[in-house]
Each structure stands twice: as structure tokens, then as C-alpha cells.
Amino acid sequence: EVQLVESGGGLVQPGGSLRLSCAASGFTFNNYWMHWVRQTPGKGLVWVSRINGDGSDTSYADSGKGRFTISRDNAKNTVYLQMNSLRAEDTAVYYCARGPYWSPSDDWGQGTLVTVSS
């Protein structure tokens, strides 16, 4: 059974940093692209970033470019999202998801809430 478990969310002040983790199990991790998608409470889904199986290819939405960094540790079956210079508008539930590069459509985690507030 595929499992994706996010962690690392919490309350952070504007301008602060946070690193999210997503621990994966139940599949051959290094064979898959991984995505981060976020959702402001009560709003829609917004794609954030993706990384390929060996970590050599990454992409970002404009909202996170220059502030967010996606990475992975295939030995630990974990994908990360380092978020710096956080803003109030980054407040959201962050989901990690597995899928081809064009869609996070295979499996989703349950999400971790990030709140950016003073």
C-alpha cells in the first residue's frame, strides 16, 4: 500500500523558514516524480513544485521561485520542501503527491498545515 506522510508544518512568523518532509512507502521511490501542492483553507488547489526520481530535475510555480527548494533523499524515501522568506499568503495545507511530471495523480498524502503569522 502506498503511503505518503507529510510533516514539518506549523506556525512561523513572516520572513521565517520551514522545511516540510514527506515520507514515502509502498513503492519504488526513486522511480517516481514527486510533487508538492498547496491549498489555502477554503480555496482551491495550487501546484507548488516537482522533482524527478534522481533529483536532477526540479520545477517551481512562480509563487515559490527563489524562495522554495524541493529536494529528495532516496536512501530515506523522503522528499522535502524548504520554504524561506515565508509570507502570510503561503499559509496553506501542503500536500505531497506522487505522479508523472505532468500530474500529481497517483497518490496524495494527508497534508501538513503551514501558518505564517506574527
Partner 1 sequence: NFMLTQPHSVSESPGKTVNIFCTGSSGSIATNYVQWYQQRPGSAPTTVIYDDNQRPSGVPDRFSGSIDSSSNSASLTISGLKTEDEADYYCQSYDSSNLVVFGGGTKLTVL
Give contact residues for partner 1 (rule: CB under 8 A). 35, 37, 44-47, 50, 59, 61, 95, 101-106, 108-111
Strand partners, 3: 25
* 86, 14 Cβ separation under 8 angstroms: yes
**CA–CA gap between residue 14 and residue 22 (Å, rounded):** 23
CB burial of residue 41 (10 Å; 0-12, 13-18, 19+): exposed
User: At residue 37, what is the residue type?
Assistant: V
User: Which CB sits closer to partner 1, 33 or 80?
Assistant: 33
User: Which CB sits closer to partner 1, 50 or 72?
Assistant: 50
Q: How far is the CB of 80 from partner 1 (least distance, A)?
A: 19
User: Which CB sits closer to partner 1, 12 or 96?
Assistant: 96
Q: How far is the CB of 57 from partner 1 (least distance, A)?
A: 11
